[in-house]
Amino acid sequence: MSNGSTTPAQHAAAATTIKPADLRGILKYVPRFKDQIFVIALDGSIVADENFGNLLVDIAVLRSLAIKVILVHGIGQQIQQLSAIRSIPITDAIGTGVTDAATLDLAIRASSRVSHIILEGLTQNALKCAITNAVRAVPLGILRGVDHQFTGKVDRIDTEFITTLIDKNITPIVSPIGFGPDGGALRINSDLLAAELAEALHATKIIYAAPSSGLTINGEVRREISADALRALLKEQPAAIPESERSKAAHALKAIETGTPRVHLIDGRTFDSLLNEIFSSEGVGTLIYGNDYQQIRRARRSDVRAIHNLTRGGVRRAELLHRTQQAIEKNIDQFYVYEIDESLIACISLASYPENPDILELGSLYVLPFYQNRGIGRRMVDYICMLAKDRGARTLVALSTQSYSFFTSTMGFEEADKKLLPASRLKLYEESGRNAKVLVKQL
């Protein structure tokens, strides 16, 4: 591997020297990543780097493997250069401080230039792309007495617009300029933008390509760190991380807390860093990963109404058995909830049968439709399996009328005879008339 720049032709030649064993290594990732969304956030300085052409070839490789890519870019370096060339002082370079009118004007110019360079690069790689206006913003407002003027925060992302582009094989380019309620421009920090896009689009990964080898902690680049450890570090010892990397660390954490499972920090100046990070088990940058279960907690009495409201949609479609608020309250100890930003977005329950401690029953599994198909149901069931095992059960039972294939195909349950149910439960089963499939998993 070299750090120098290569032409696309040289890169392609290098690709043809991949050994069959390497190829097999890469191919094993293909079904796993197919159709997943990756948000790639490019620092302004990376777009200006001589390796940028190589990075775009890597992005073209991801697209050819049916990975859906959204590109977000920063403008930090370009706005500083424009400011120097035109002798116009700027109030902030990264989109978190105050943006006055002159700074906004330079930000728009810098952003158009950077978006255009990306357009050119993707065109050279025969990729269709489009610069979008999918980010609606509102002014950040007055914080601690300081009016941030034209600095914005994300209000809403037009996900339908972006997914329509992706579905048509068009790579969306999202610039760090959002559009306010009156259509006027607002400057948004690109690290934040990447995290917001990943949340709204249910991305599997964010990849921040920056001019550093990864996340540096106490002077050393860490290859991986859990979100829990990073949160503790940012709270207790923020100076352990260089200031230039702190924004990415904080936004990576935000992304994980709002449901994006993994965030990578790669060196955008290094040849092959993107493909190496994704397709080798060790990686070359820094991987920040969430604790799969950190958003799951035991339900409290104060959650009763929220659980009732949450499951109402499922009850309406007869996916779930109707339970009154009183019934949920009476059994609140059996419920577990999944929380994002202090809102409950999924629930599950674990019940026992007095006559048979070997068998526990999983029930009331419901994931809000907006959050479905991003691994939350799987995590909830895995968590309940772990709890059931801890409690010494041997068998976990689930009754399902419409989602039984989720349990059998995704979660490793098998269909079983209803006679397996303890007598008291069998009686309730017969009385309900739902004729649900009985599914079991041996723990």
Ligand X SMILES: CC(C)(COP(=O)(O)OP(=O)(O)OC[C@H]1O[C@@H](n2cnc3c(N)ncnc32)[C@H](O)[C@@H]1OP(=O)(O)O)[C@@H](O)C(=O)NCCC(=O)NCCS
Q: Which residues bind ligand X (CB under 6 A)?
A: 314, 319-320, 365-367, 372-378, 398, 400, 402-403, 405-406, 410
Tell me whether residue 113 or residue 378 sits nearer to ligand X (CB atom): 378
Cβ–Cβ < 8 Å for 58, 272: yes
Distance (Å, whole) CA 8 – CA 121: 11
Measured between alpha carbons, how far is 382 from 48 in angstroms, rounded to an integer?
45
Toward ligand X, which CB reaches closer, 376 or 396? 376
CA 314 to chain centre: 25
Closest contact distance (angstroms) between CB of 381 and ligand X is 8
User: What is the C-alpha to C-alpha distance for residues 146 and 144, in angstroms, rounded to an integer?
Assistant: 6
- When the beta carbons of 151 and 400 are compared against ligand X, the nearer one is 400
Task: Give me the amino acid identity at 160.
Answer: E
H or E element in which residue 80 lies: helix 76-86
Closer of 343 and 402 to ligand X (Cβ): 402
Cβ-based nearer residue to ligand X, 280 or 401: 401
What is the smallest separation between the CB atom of 383 and ligand X, expressed in angstroms?
Answer: 11
Least distance from ligand X to the Cβ atom of residue 402, Å: 5
* Residues 395, 439: Cα–Cα separation, whole Å: 10
Strands, E, within 87-179: which ranges?
129-131, 135-139, 142-143, 146-147, 152-157, 171-174, 177-179
Q: By three-state DSSP, how is residue 217 classified?
A: strand
Which CB sits closer to ligand X, 34 or 128? 34
How far apart CA 187 and CA 176 sit, in angstroms, is 6
Helix, strand and coil content of the chain, in percent to the nearest 5, comes to 45, 25, 30
CB of 237 to ligand X, least distance (A): 35
CB of 40 to ligand X, least distance (A): 22
**Considering the complex, what minimum distance in angstroms separates the CB of residue 379 from ligand X?**
7
